[in-house]
Amino acid sequence: MTGKTLYDKIWDAHLVDQAQDGTCLLYIDRHLVHEVTSPQAFEGLRMTGRTVRAPDKTIAVPDHNVPTTPGREVVANMTEESRIQVEALDKNARDFGINYYPVSDVRQGIVHIVGPEQGWTLPGMTVVCGDSHTATHGAFGALAHGIGTSEVEHVLATQTLIQKKSKNMKVEITGKLAPGVTAKDITLSVIGQTGTAGGTGYVIEYCGEAIRSLSMEGRMTVCNMAIEGGARAGLIAPDQTTFDYVMGRPHAPKGAQWEAALSWWKTLYSDDDAHWDKVVTIRGEDIAPVVTWGTSPEDVLPITGTVPAAADFSGGKAEAAQRSLDYMGLTPGTPLTEIKVDAVFIGSCTNGRIEDLRAAAGVLKGRKLAPGVRGMVVPGSGLVRAQAEQEGLDQIFTDAGFEWRLAGCSMCLGMNPDQLAPGERCAATSNRNFEGRMGRGGRTHLMSPVMAAAAGVTGHLTDIREFMAETV
Amino acid sequence: MDKFTKITGIAAPLPLVNIDTDMIIPKQFLKTIKRTGLGVNLFDEMRYDDTGAENPDFVLNQPAWRAAEILVAGDNFGCGSSREHAPWAIKDFGIRCVIAPSFADIFFNNCFKNGILPIALPQEQVDVLMKDAEKGANARMTVDLENQVILTSDGEEIAFDVDPFRKHCLLEGLDDIGLTLEKAAAIDGFESQMEQSRPWV
Ligand code: SF4
């Protein structure tokens, strides 16, 4: 008998029912909810007289559409659109008795940062949310993915999801990372290599020495972007790093339950003889600090590269590349380090955690944003913000000329007034560089927090390795 | 979900091809937090002029068809985005059945999730029904899902196909949630077993 992958094990542990055609009913351990994709789902429950089956397993927090400026506890200070959605979530959380972190709560933040921070996300769980970056929680060895509004309602009412099983894909990052290379560079490099559809139909398990050496926060950055690689979810097997992170969090098990949980969690790994439908191996030493040049997350190049030409690509990609170059206002052959930036955004569920802020602040300490460059730091949660202030990071950011904002998704999706202006070029730590994503006409280059900070100081995309060598 | 068994009502003729989801419900109405209330904006751009006044030429504004429950339309109905707001708007207006030569795939699926019956028929048969619909309020059409047949106001019968499983769901008023709730015992069983095996969840 062949062994099981981690995905197989979690799947089997949550299978409620399997129909003849292979359609499965999967039990959901944690359902995360935010203000933008949930209102119609709650309305559906009201219309049909249904209730939330497991309110204790349902956690709501407004994040996508909330302002990140002071005074937002007063809903009158929100735009009409934000106010309606936030008030709807307030009411739904109250009416249905689910766990809730309102904007006024210090624990409020981006749903994918709050879940792990509060210990809601645990190894071996199934976690869903009406948001594609739910993949983040896979860092704990939890099967986590995004769902649509009809499915949100389905999970609220039944605590299950109708699913068909995906295939297994292994992404192994061997060896060690070079100095200046981060989790963000790993995840972008994987997408650069496999493409945005490379993971379609698969659940990816990331493994290898380079992944093992990452902190939990780095692992979350890696899994966060599994979705950009087309995968249904990303997973990393739990280990001592995971257990250390989880222990003592508000909703983590305690005492005897902790011991019981731990002994099960320790069985959550892929067996040596498990079957993989696809395997990708990348040497950690080969990964360079990278940036994106185009409008797809697969448009990844080492910072030492030059802007490609459409002719470098074949098939439909050539056309797409030309469209990207036009939109991004780039000339083929330009060294990436000569691309000037107008803005720096540090935040999002990819890189809005305390380690990300520390890394960026480490680069910015005693330095300033280049003239004409605007910078914004949006901590991923109120607790991340408080921690950063305790460490004096806010001072470093504001001294450097950055705005120090309140927690939320902010410019990552530009739903509220935090947006790029048309043509404005931004070094961003978020996960999507689509046309108009951060504001109509805005141009996004994705990169790690240290690279974004360095770009802010020099005013152009910058190789963090040279930056550190020159300015130490 | 509301059951769909048999309806007898007014059919509105809309002989246009490629009616997309933007025509059904334009994007400025997507900011809503509700799925009801969209009926007034169904076909907004065709139905109202720039000042918001009703366009008297549009079929659903004419006295004969204001209370239509069936829509007869042209080829490729519901193409465009995947927004569930399109079937929500149709349903909210009061239309429960759409008949056309063909439908866009996602829209077609979304209809069943929302208690609407989409019927695809060959062009000649749609033409017959279109003529019947043009007769207005005195000509009532019947759509009988149980027997899979449409009756024109003259008593002409037109049979139609429907996926047996979806038919069952519509007849019983079962949406995905309703279907899953039929397995409530299995979910209960899973939860009580989980209290033993993974009590910390
Ligand atoms: S930070 Fe960006 S990617 Fe993450 S949940 Fe918010 S909008 Fe989505």
CA–centroid distance, A336 to ligand 1, in Å, is 26
**Mean pLDDT, residues A263-272 taken together:** 98
Residue B21: per-residue pLDDT: 86
Kindly state if the Cβ of A430 falls inside 6 Å of ligand 1.
yes
B185 touches chain A (CB under 8 A): no
Residue B197, in any domain of the structure: no
Phi, psi of A162 (to 5 degrees): -85, 125
User: A409 in ligand 1 pocket by Cβ < 6 Å?
Assistant: yes
Residue A427 identity (one-letter amino acid): A
Instruction: Identify the pLDDT of residue A1.
Output: 66
Of A267, A226, A271, give the one whose Cα is nearest residue A123: A267
Is A16 in Cβ contact with B35 (below 8 Å)? no
Residue B26 within any structural domain of the chain: yes
User: Total structural domains in chain B?
Assistant: 1
**Regions of chain B where pLDDT drops below 70:** 27-28, 81-82
**Does residue B1 lie in a domain region?**
no
Query: In the structure encoding, which two tokens stand for residue B14, read together?
Result: 């809309």
- Inter-chain CB pairs, A–B, below 8 Å: 73
- Whether residue B193 lies inside any domain: the answer is no
Question: How confident is the model over A68-119, as pLDDT tens digits?
Answer: 999 998 888 898 888 999 999 999 999 999 999 999 999 999 999 999 999 9
Q: How high is the pLDDT of residue A451?
A: 98
List CB contacts (< 8 A) between A258 and chain B.
Answer: 200
Q: Mean pLDDT for chain A?
A: 95
* Nearest to B176, CA basis, from B106, B105, B112, B92: B112
pLDDT of res. A472: 52
Kindly give the residue spans of alpha helices, DSSP state H, lying in A381-426: 382-390, 393-400
- Determine the Cα–Cα distance for residues A359 and A354; give it in Å rounded to an integer: 9
The pLDDT value recorded for residue B81 is 64
Residue B125 belongs to some domain of the structure: yes
- Is B131 a domain residue? yes
| pLDDT tens per residue across span A410-451 | 999 887 788 999 999 999 999 999 888 898 899 999 999 999
Identify the pLDDT of residue A30.
98
Residue A439 pLDDT: 86
**d(CA A117, nearest CA chain B) in Å:** 16
Whether A410 lines ligand 1, by a CB cut-off of 6 Å, is no
Residue A406: which of A96, A177, A173, A67 has the closest Cα? Answer: A67
Tell me which residue range forms the domain holding B136: 6-172
Q: Give the pair of three-digit tokens for residue A407.
A: 């927690």
B87 located within any domain: yes
Range among A225-234, A399-408, B82-91, B161-170 rated most confident = A399-408
Nearest to A433 by CA among A331, A293, A309: A293
CATH number at residue B161: 3.20.19.10
pLDDT tens digits, residue range A309-353?
999 998 778 888 998 999 999 999 999 999 999 999 999 999 999
pLDDT of residue A23: 80
Q: Which chain A residues touch B190 with a CB distance below 8 Å? A: 16, 27
- With a pLDDT cut of 70, the percent of chain A lying above it is 99
Please list the helix, strand and coil fractions of chain B in percent, rounded to the nearest 5, in that order: 40, 20, 40
Say what the pLDDT of residue A471 is: 62
Of A53, A85, A124, the CB nearest to B33: A85
If one compares A377 and A75, the residue with the highest pLDDT of the two is A377
Q: Is residue B196 part of a domain?
A: no
